[in-house]
Structure 1
């Protein structure tokens, strides 16, 4: 079966599009965490047009081969990796990397799925516009993967997730048809909003090959500040005050506990403690404006004074602002040095963040004494990376063997507060069991019905997001 499919692919695609050499395929098989992947596939397919993607999907569908779409392979949940003993191909979108059009007056552009996020940002900047999606992997991740996972990042507070930045999509369906949905309309009530089915579906309903994206006025000025606080509740109250005082100009609001900040300071010699005295929590905020005559720094200063904040700094120049952000962006790499960690990407209503951190922390410590809580993330949109670093006396493998039960403790607290166990990293292979355990039964049934309607043969990224059939038995 596999040989037949690869032979058919070789007939319909150019030689550069089909990779079967084991050494050449290896980089596509391993994901960055090392938890998933490394399993052999029949081939890696690298088509360079939507029509070539459609031919590849059609050939695999006919031969019973699973198709696993892959963007920049920067995901954290194994969504772009093969499963053990799976008859599959990896379909890389990396050669679909063209900016098809940029319309500054319409504040939009059309980018193919393989465009790196940084390239989309640069195309917008070239016409004095802003594409605001931004996060640490932007030089490597691809816009197709951003949409497939509904990526968030640092600017969700002001601009929304990837879904909110998308006007239309071009999609290859499981049966090989292409839906040309690249409209650039802000208003269209002529039927179902089909694009939203494919954004966040991790390639399990269709393969996004291009997207029409929203642009915004270029940023003319920024004001960045870091504040030391004694509680999450105080951080939440200050966030509300700063948002109001800035004229709703806050674009980022990041929360960091002292422990992750200390990890960053120990890991990177260029990181410097930002305030004279240590604090339990830090709030990193940034306000931005497309206008040149707004005193953002002055507004933040006034808000800090009105809130009686005792210890804070407002960056007086770009290098100081960059130093503040370096602390935040160093945390994920720095945490690795402290030992094995169990990552949790949760969201709760902003007002419930303090209760969640306290209750989840207490529950984790009770279940596994000595676990070091490493909490940081996007307070402005209620998304916290509630990561667990192994106890200092524990063995890495011993701690990681408890991933399922300790994660369940955290997820249960998030859901109890009306939150989500998957805020911005997706489901992939890491969380389908949690989808089945924690999703409302009606919602789960609707998701399965959509999968069955659009991909009845389970060709596209099977086993990811929501299995076509109940696998809990």
Structure 2
């Protein structure tokens, strides 16, 4: 038997028929990333049932020198869970490890395995009168392990932080098959480095997340969703500061979109209606929430916020959702920007961040700079203004016939320029989507040499064979 055959035989004995397949048809859906940009090949698809099987498989891979590509819901935006074209790696799916071990109302925590789907976690928490305060468009497929590995963000980061702030304990399998177990959360722990934080956001390159203890919050008893039209992003920033002053901790979401994005969504969704009459350069979606103790006061707070914003000249027009259905309709407009843009034609997307206070000035500079350098393109920024995270998309000229060719040619040049601009402004080329293979070379080109050296040193120390998710991040 060849060494590859010996490895596959041993892996099959370890995982059984449910845990390992080499059938090309069964593997195919997991070899292309969600956006369809990257397609690779794999030696096998492994689906362990528990942490012990993950550890045993990793030890086996280390003994045979077989690379491992960890994968959650395969819904990442940067190709971080897709193998390369060589075909010598095992895709290690965590989807079978989908148990929610415990939801503890007293400690406001949930302990769950890496394969738990975000929406399932939401529902489990809701049944106990609690909630997990992170949500995003892919909640029906994204898994806890993937969210941790990419330090996912979403629309509630303004109040609750990214996954990094919500992970209280972690379990992971390291490159030699040993198990790092720090699931029990401690408010104080001064035993050196916070090792779980090292694993969060590492994209499976130094360890494979198998379980986590996550922070929960009391369920929302009331919410107020507001829509405002403003004359500029600078005014939207002033409105954000005003909302923080009036609403304090009740302010959970603050999203912005330009006129172009709203018009694209209204054309894309047949039953959609504009929340406001009249034309506005920018639109702001604000969400205030309260638990049972603050629910009664929330409507008055929302009204006071808008009245005072009008008095200070911060809004041109505004409204408060009159029902849950209307609140959901407002959010649908925001969440439909990406598919509405795709319907317009090819584009290159950039998940970027700069200091919150610099974002209006950055967008005002970057949009005309890009459009002047690449005639016929349309640059659009939208997203989480309160976090300093804007999704900066550049749409191809209207006459573009071959979208993939444009993205591979001029689109790459545009992305390079956008990343240069962000770096010049002291920002990040990846705010919440990760690096993966999509931005790996750009990170190497633009990253601080000292920081890059530290990343590589950590990778070398914890994965000396380079078997964990090779070709990603570093």
What's the TM-score once normalised by structure 2's chain length? Answer: 0.96
Separation of aligned partners in 2, 1:101 and 1:164: 20
Please report how far the alpha carbon of residue 292 of structure 1 lies from its aligned counterpart in structure 2 after TM superposition: 4.2
Separation of aligned partners in 2, 1:77 and 1:2: 29
The alignment partner of 2:336 has SS state of helix
Runs of 4+ in 1 over 4 A off after TM superposition: none
Please report how far the alpha carbon of residue 293 of structure 1 lies from its aligned counterpart in structure 2 after TM superposition: 4.3
Separation of aligned partners in 1, 2:5 and 2:365: 54
| CA deviations over 1:364-388 (Å, ceiling 9, x no partner) | 1122111112221111111110011
Separation of aligned partners in 2, 1:139 and 1:350: 30
Q: Which residue of 1 aligns with 2:30?
A: 28
Separation of aligned partners in 2, 1:172 and 1:432: 24
Separation of aligned partners in 1, 2:262 and 2:66: 46
Q: Which residue of 1 aligns with 2:404?
A: 397
List runs of 5+ in structure 2 lacking aligned partners: none
Q: Which residue of 2 aligns with 1:371?
A: 377
Separation of aligned partners in 2, 1:6 and 1:238: 59
Please report how far the alpha carbon of residue 270 of structure 1 lies from its aligned counterpart in structure 2 after TM superposition: 2.5
Equivalent residues in 2 for 1:146-157, closer than 5 Å: 146-157=147-158
Query: What is the aligned residue count?
Result: 465
Please report how far the alpha carbon of residue 126 of structure 1 lies from its aligned counterpart in structure 2 after TM superposition: 1.5
Q: Which residue of 1 aligns with 2:7?
A: 5
Q: Which residue of 2 aligns with 1:426?
A: 434
Q: Which residue of 1 aligns with 2:242?
A: 241
Q: Which residue of 2 aligns with 1:113?
A: 114
Please report how far the alpha carbon of residue 187 of structure 1 lies from its aligned counterpart in structure 2 after TM superposition: 2.1
The alignment partner of 1:307 has SS state of helix
CA contact (8 A) 1:246 1:296 kept: no
Q: Which residue of 2 aligns with 1:79?
A: 80
The alignment partner of 1:460 has SS state of coil
Q: Which residue of 2 aligns with 1:199?
A: 200
Equivalent residues in 2 for 1:282-431, closer than 5 Å: 282-290=283-291, 291-308=293-310, 309-395=315-401, 396-400=403-407, 401-431=409-439
CA contact (8 A) 2:20 2:46 kept: yes
The farther-off stretch of 446-455 and 80-89 is 80-89
Please report how far the alpha carbon of residue 86 of structure 1 lies from its aligned counterpart in structure 2 after TM superposition: 4.3
Q: Residues 294, 352 of structure 1: CA spacing in aligned structure 2 closer, same or farther, 3 A cutoff?
A: farther
The alignment partner of 2:225 has SS state of strand
CA contact (8 A) 1:242 1:300 kept: no
Q: Which residue of 1 aligns with 2:225?
A: 224
Q: Residues 95, 277 of structure 1: CA spacing in aligned structure 2 closer, same or farther, 3 A cutoff?
A: same
Separation of aligned partners in 2, 1:86 and 1:5: 14
Please report how far the alpha carbon of residue 294 of structure 1 lies from its aligned counterpart in structure 2 after TM superposition: 4.1
Separation of aligned partners in 2, 1:65 and 1:247: 51
List runs of 5+ in structure 1 lacking aligned partners: 467-473
What's the TM-score once normalised by structure 1's chain length? Answer: 0.96
Q: Which residue of 2 aligns with 1:180?
A: 181
Q: State the superposition RMSD in angstroms.
A: 1.2
Please report how far the alpha carbon of residue 407 of structure 1 lies from its aligned counterpart in structure 2 after TM superposition: 0.9
| CA deviations over 1:29-72 (Å, ceiling 9, x no partner) | 111211112x2211000001001011111111222211000000
Please report how far the alpha carbon of residue 457 of structure 1 lies from its aligned counterpart in structure 2 after TM superposition: 0.3
Separation of aligned partners in 2, 1:293 and 1:41: 52
